[in-house]
A and B are shown apart, each in its own frame.
Chain A
């Protein structure tokens, strides 16, 4: 049986339909059965909000990647270098707790609740004019999608974040004070963690943005990005004593961590090589996907309006964010060269 036989078997004759009659029947049914429809989504508002949310989630990757270790002694133990990414659900109660603890989720303030965070080389984002210039600035070959949906038009803008570095010193006093500000009692910081240091490494990072505001008046173009592509050297975290398991145990003992988040963190098989990506539990879906031959993570909002694909390959973190279906986002990701 060849293709023609299959066509014949499945019915070679095309149905002759009258679409307008069908639409009339549909209208009559909707009216007679009182069926309520969903109003067209306010795409621009939703997309803008969700792109911001997803960009913030993905920003964790970029920010982490932009922190760079420098001048650290060889004796320091590397305790974290991501080989894969995994979603961890962040519930509203987690956000409330973190928001109180971290003064608006600012990274420096947030870590300040547990010790002293010091930039040794702070990140300094800047815009460049071309991909080749971005590659030269970043020191790696910047990849770009070779196929994009028709909704993505024009040339991208390029941003480069330099290598930068930070040191974090755990402090039992800071932890106690942060907890008391929220009328909570923090579990005691284990003695071997108090005073120990983390050296956070990564970067540089390059971000390509399609459809971004140009900053020129009278352009009339879109005011939100249609596609964001991020690429960064995978971050690493080193320590002068504390281990990832000890850190995980301490994090899970915090009073504001929801059971859902705790379960997700416990489920991470190898925390020393898995980058957790926070995903709003009530508002987004996420699941593992295969991208560029490796396992990555798909994150999408519940309405299907915006999505992101994040993966790690050959020591680099990548992400694709935009108003796409899952298959479109994966096609873009797989077309990266």
Chain B
């Protein structure tokens, strides 16, 4: 996946600030943090890890982009999916046993221990499938199933809004095929 092709502030951007976070950045953070976490959570299945990814994503944006850049939300959404998929692949490089231990199961949702085990295996497989899918397909699924609109997905992935439905169906088909 390619992040929106935006370099740093560039020659016309203002300089760097140190120490203080601008009100504009705080507003962006408050507006987008939940959705950035949600996108990463769809990929990783782990809230703590998703929040770590979200913090890294906001730091990356803070370092090199003005808070009031019009592409801010789209950049953050794309970066959340990208960073989470990178984290997932890093996790996959570790042993399957370690990965299983790193994936807590929502035990409260299922009482039967056998269901807990089954749910855990399913979630492992889901993450493995996401890691195998093409980057854009996996990112698209994470964004859509975390609640982003077609227009927001189009902005994040730099595709036409009218193409999102088709791309999403293809990604879902690929996801189903891989999960069988």
Chain A interfacial positions (CB closer than 8 Å to B): 1, 3, 6-7, 9-11, 13-17, 19, 22-23, 25-27, 29-31, 34-43, 45-46, 49-50, 283, 285, 301-305, 323-328, 330-331, 334
Q: For the complex, give the distance between the alpha carbons of A9 and B26 in Å.
A: 33
B12–A15 touching, CB < 8 Å: no
Which residue in B25, B33, B45, B71 is a CB contact (below 8 Å) of A19? Answer: B33
13 contacts between A and B (CB under 8 A): A10-B141, A13-B109, A29-B55, A31-B19, A35-B62, A37-B63, A38-B63, A38-B67, A39-B14, A42-B12, A304-B69, A325-B74, A327-B158
B9–A303 touching, CB < 8 Å: yes
Q: Closest CB-CB distance, B69 to chain A, in whole Å?
A: 6
With A49-B12, A327-B160 known to touch, is A17 a contact of B34 (CB < 8 Å)?
Answer: yes
With A6-B175, A41-B69 known to touch, is A23 a contact of B29 (CB < 8 Å)?
Answer: yes
Q: Closest CB-CB distance, A50 to chain B, in whole Å?
A: 7
B149 interface residue per 8 A CB criterion: no
B16–A37 touching, CB < 8 Å: yes
Mark interface residues in B57-90 (1 if CB within 8 Å of A CB, else 0).
0110011111111110010000000000000000
B62–A17 touching, CB < 8 Å: no
- In the complex, chain B residues whose CB is within 8 Å of the CB of A330: 160
With A10-B42, A13-B106 known to touch, is A37 a contact of B74 (CB < 8 Å)?
Answer: no
Q: For the complex, give the distance between the alpha carbons of A324 and B69 in Å.
A: 10
A19–B29 touching, CB < 8 Å: yes
Q: Closest CB-CB distance, A125 to chain B, in whole Å?
A: 28
- In the complex, chain B residues whose CB is within 8 Å of the CB of A19: 29-30, 33-34
B50–A15 touching, CB < 8 Å: yes
Chain B interfacial positions (CB closer than 8 Å to A): 4-19, 21-22, 24-26, 29-30, 33-34, 37-38, 41-42, 45, 47, 50-51, 54-55, 58-59, 62-71, 74, 106, 109, 122-123, 126, 141-142, 145, 154-155, 158-162, 172, 175-176, 179
Q: Closest CB-CB distance, A303 to chain B, in whole Å?
A: 4
B14–A17 touching, CB < 8 Å: no
Which residue in A16, A34, A36, A327 is a CB contact (below 8 Å) of B155? Answer: A327
- In the complex, chain A residues whose CB is within 8 Å of the CB of B38: 14-15
Q: Closest CB-CB distance, B163 to chain A, in whole Å?
A: 10
With A14-B38, A326-B4 known to touch, is A22 a contact of B51 (CB < 8 Å)?
Answer: yes
Q: For the complex, give the distance between the alpha carbons of A327 and B64 in Å.
A: 21
A1–B179 touching, CB < 8 Å: yes
Which residue in B22, B42, B176 is a CB contact (below 8 Å) of A37? Answer: B22
Q: For the complex, give the distance between the alpha carbons of A3 and B22 in Å.
A: 41
Q: 3 nearest interchain CB pairs?
A: A39-B14, A41-B66, A302-B10
- In the complex, chain A residues whose CB is within 8 Å of the CB of B172: 3, 6
B30–A23 touching, CB < 8 Å: yes
Interface centre among A11, A31, A330 (most CB of B within 10 A): A11
Q: For the complex, give the distance between the alpha carbons of A139 and B65 in Å.
A: 45
A38–B9 touching, CB < 8 Å: yes
With A303-B66, A323-B70 known to touch, is A38 a contact of B8 (CB < 8 Å)?
Answer: yes
- In the complex, chain B residues whose CB is within 8 Å of the CB of A6: 141, 145, 172, 175-176
- In the complex, chain B residues whose CB is within 8 Å of the CB of A37: 16-18, 21-22, 25, 62-63, 67
B67–A40 touching, CB < 8 Å: yes
Interface centre among A6, A29, A31, A303 (most CB of B within 10 A): A303
A30–B21 touching, CB < 8 Å: yes
B16–A23 touching, CB < 8 Å: no
Q: Closest CB-CB distance, A324 to chain B, in whole Å?
A: 7
Interface centre among A31, A49, A327 (most CB of B within 10 A): A327
- In the complex, chain A residues whose CB is within 8 Å of the CB of B126: 9-10
Q: Which residue of A lies closest to B16 (CB)?
A: A36
B33–A327 touching, CB < 8 Å: no
Which residue in B10, B30, B41, B155 is a CB contact (below 8 Å) of A325? Answer: B155
